[in-house]
Amino acid sequence: MHKLGLVTIATLALGLTTAQAGPLDPHTIVVSGYAEIQVKPDHATVDIGVVTSDKITAKALQANNVEMQRVVAAIKALGIPDDAMQTSDFSISALHPKVKGSYDEDDSITLGYEVTNKVSVSVSDLEKVADIIDAAVNAGANSSNSVNFWVKNNAANQDRALAAAVRDARHNAEIMASAEHTNVGKMIAMTNMRSEFGPPPAFVPPPDINIAGVMARVPVLPGQITINASVTVTFAIE
Q: Report the pLDDT value the prediction gives residue 162, as an integer from 0 to 100.
A: 93
User: Is the distance from CB of 8 to CB of 34 less than 8 angstroms?
Assistant: yes
Position 192 confidence tier, pLDDT thresholds 50, 70, 90: confident
Q: Mind listing the pLDDT tens digit for each residue in 1-25?
A: 444 443 433 343 333 333 344 555 6
Q: Mind listing the pLDDT tens digit for each residue in 77-119?
A: 999 999 999 999 999 999 999 998 888 998 899 999 999 999 9
Q: Phi first, then psi: give them for residue 128, nearest 5 degrees.
A: -85, -10
Residue spans of alpha helices (H) in the chain:
57-76, 128-139, 155-179
Query: Cβ atoms within 10 A of the Cβ of 215, count?
Result: 14
Mean pLDDT of the chain: 83
Give domain limits for the chain: 4-40+153-199+225-237, 43-150
What pTM, to 2 d.p., does this model score? 0.69
Q: Mind listing the pLDDT tens digit for each residue in 145-181?
A: 889 998 988 889 999 999 999 999 999 999 999 999 9
Mean pLDDT of the region 213-231? 76
Question: In angstroms, rounded to a whole number, what is the distance separating the alpha carbons of residues 97 and 200?
Answer: 33
Question: In angstroms, rounded to a whole number, what is the distance separating the alpha carbons of residues 230 and 7?
Answer: 10
Residue spans of alpha helices (H) in 41-125:
57-76
One of 3.10.20.90, 3.10.450.50, 3.30.70.2970, 3.40.50.2300 is the CATH number of 43-150, namely 3.30.70.2970
CATH class of 4-40+153-199+225-237: alpha beta
More confident residue, 192 or 231: 231
Question: In angstroms, rounded to a whole number, what is the distance separating the alpha carbons of residues 115 and 92?
Answer: 5
Give the HSE-up count for residue 166: Cα atoms under 13 Å, Cβ half-sphere: 14
